[in-house]
Amino acid sequence: MTQKLTQELKPELQKRTVKGPDGVEFEIEPLRDYFCEALPTVQHGAYIGIVEDFFNWARSHSLWILGFGTGCGAIEMRPLMTPRFDAYRYGIQWRPTPRQANLLVISGYLSVKTLKRAIRAYEQMQSPKYVVGLGSCTINGGMYWDSYNTIKRLDDYMPVDLYIVGCMPRPEALLAGFEDLKKLIRAGKAEGANQYAEKFDWYKSNQKRVIHDWDMPDYNW
């Protein structure tokens, strides 16, 4: 197994023997049974350029958001769902699970504890996928920059395709940022997911440096 844990596992994650409803006993190993051991791989484009251009055009008009709201940034996203801003007319909509989304929006500051959850959400999304850092907190920690528990730079722990600056940026800025992301996707430059696969060991070492209760596989998809 490629995943190595840095400390003793919690009891519910340890290998153990359980008894089924029919009374038969069998062994379970949660980190093997509940997760896939495969690591991320680079997703290559279509062999014909015009086909890949069409795919990127379609992807740019189908931004399905998984919102990871940790602070005031989450509030600024809500108006985009209302008739005044109506993000749906731009092919942007919100989804309830990582499996249904291709855009992770981190809106607000991240603590060590919430970073762990953000990583799991990102890794469970299917490629191609994108990350937007919303607000100053994702860039330098914002007003919480000197806290021992604040993640200062999001792109040290996962690839960020686009930052939308501000504290907090207004809904108009969010729409402008999403339009910029669309341009990157159409140009084939939103390659964060492939970057994560190529530099997986580097990202994982950064993650483990701050997350001390690492009780999960290295790749959580």
Distance, CA of 62 to CA of 209 (rounded, Å): 35
Residue 35 located in a structural domain = no
Per the CB < 8 A criterion, the answer to whether 105 and 132 are in contact is: yes
Residue 161 located in a structural domain = yes
The number of domains in the chain is: 1
Residue 34 located in a structural domain = no
Residue 20 located in a structural domain = no
Residue 60 located in a structural domain = yes
**Range list of β-strands (E), the chain:** 16-19, 25-28, 63-69, 92-94, 103-107, 130-134, 162-164
Give the per-residue pLDDT at 7. Answer: 52
Residue 132 located in a structural domain = yes
Range of the domain at 188: 49-205
Residue 108 located in a structural domain = yes
Global pTM?
0.84
pLDDT digits 0-9 by tens, 26-54: 888 877 776 667 788 898 887 788 999 99
Residue 71 located in a structural domain = yes
CATH value at residue 130: 3.40.50.12280
pLDDT digits 0-9 by tens, 51-109: 999 999 999 999 999 988 877 777 888 888 888 989 889 999 999 999 999 999 998 88
